[in-house]
Chains A and B, each alone.
Chain A
Amino acid sequence: MANLSDESEVLSRKLHNIFRLLYLQFAFYWATIAAGMFVNYYYAVPATVTPDVGSIFQQFISSVPLFAHVSFAVLSSGMSIPVIILARRVALKQVVWLHAGAITCRMVGFVAGPLFIYYSTSAVSDPFASNISTFVMASVFLMAVILSFMSRIFIVREDVRIKYVMASPYPVGVP
């Protein structure tokens, strides 16, 4: 590999920190969907849940799969914050915007999730709205994953540029 200048070495190190964070974020994304599937197949909103904030939020603690699902969702969304900070430091605007978009999508998911419980309570019992809430939650999750996926493409591009275009004192391809 070509000798890296100090500047490119610092940039390279920052990019590798983003890579590590993204590995973690993708692992959390997967854990979110795995726990989400547990919720999907094993959890049913109990008849005792009432359509108020306290009762709905209590569900997040009282059901283990639901707690795991929400925790991993928060962790995976939260990973975008350090990624944004690091991406700003290396002036990767696209990455900043993509992760801001991913966080925004997750915020929508965080509203749709409790709405699903709300519409599933026996007092409200609106299957149409409940299905829509689930659909929105799952769609924005996928959107967030896609946006995070795309961000990594820009980081790989930048990493290659730093290693093989910017840092090379000689043309790398010349033997």
Chain B
Amino acid sequence: MAAGAIAWPKDEELGSLGLKGLRMTLSLCYANFLLYLVLYITGMYINIYITSGVSTISIGNTLNVFHMLIGTLNFAICFIVMTVGFLYGMRRVAIFSLGAVASIIVATIGGLLFLSLGGGRATSSSLTLVGGWTMSALFMLALFLSYYATLKVMRAIRVIEAVSRAR
């Protein structure tokens, strides 16, 4: 090893992105959490105050359109983080994000099923309920998986900072 080169700890997944790139990825992850928060609140509002167990909701409902838009942005960020993980050798970040991406895709299918089959709990078929349940449960799974990916990015930053400082 060249003199002055840093010996990075081998049991940590630091990737080859560098500190600046990692910080940018972390900022994206934090932005994604804001989107998750908005997605959760709008979803909850629709669930409690619009459908309320009896009413239906159309795909063109303004709040629903906003909810879907946020979901799309959420998907895009998860996809970017996953790509970064695969391209820059951060296997765990990539796998957690891949899980989040897959969850969001299935959740979206569930959501569309819910909307296309009536979008109301009391008046629609049992498949509507399956769609709704799948959407909600997988959204939450995506949130947890994204969180673990974020933690891995954050840990890589902390390790690089600590090791560089120690040097």
Contact = CB atoms under 8 A, between A and B. Distances in A.
Interface of A: 1-2, 26, 29-30, 33-34, 37-38, 40-42, 44, 127, 131, 134-135, 138-139, 142, 146, 149, 152-153, 156-157, 160-161, 163-165, 168, 171-175
- The secondary-structure label for the interface of chain B is helix
Contacts of B81: none
Contacts of B140: 30, 33-34
B44 A138 contact: yes
A168 B48 contact: no
Interface of B: 1, 3, 5-7, 9-11, 37, 40-41, 44-45, 47-49, 52-53, 121-122, 129, 132-133, 136-137, 140-141, 144, 147, 151, 154-155, 158-159, 162-167
Nearest to B11: A1
Contacts of A153: 151, 154
A55 B57 CA distance: 33
Nearest to B155: A156
A37 B5 contact: no
Contact of A160 (B11, B48, B122, B158): B158
Contacts of A142: 37, 40-41
Contacts of B166: 164-165, 168, 171-174
A165 B162 contact: yes
A134 B122 CA distance: 17
A173 B167 CA distance: 5
Given A152-B151, A157-B158, A135 B9 contact: no
A41 B132 contact: yes
Contacts of A165: 162, 165-166
A41 B117 CA distance: 14
Contacts of B9: 1-2, 163-164, 172
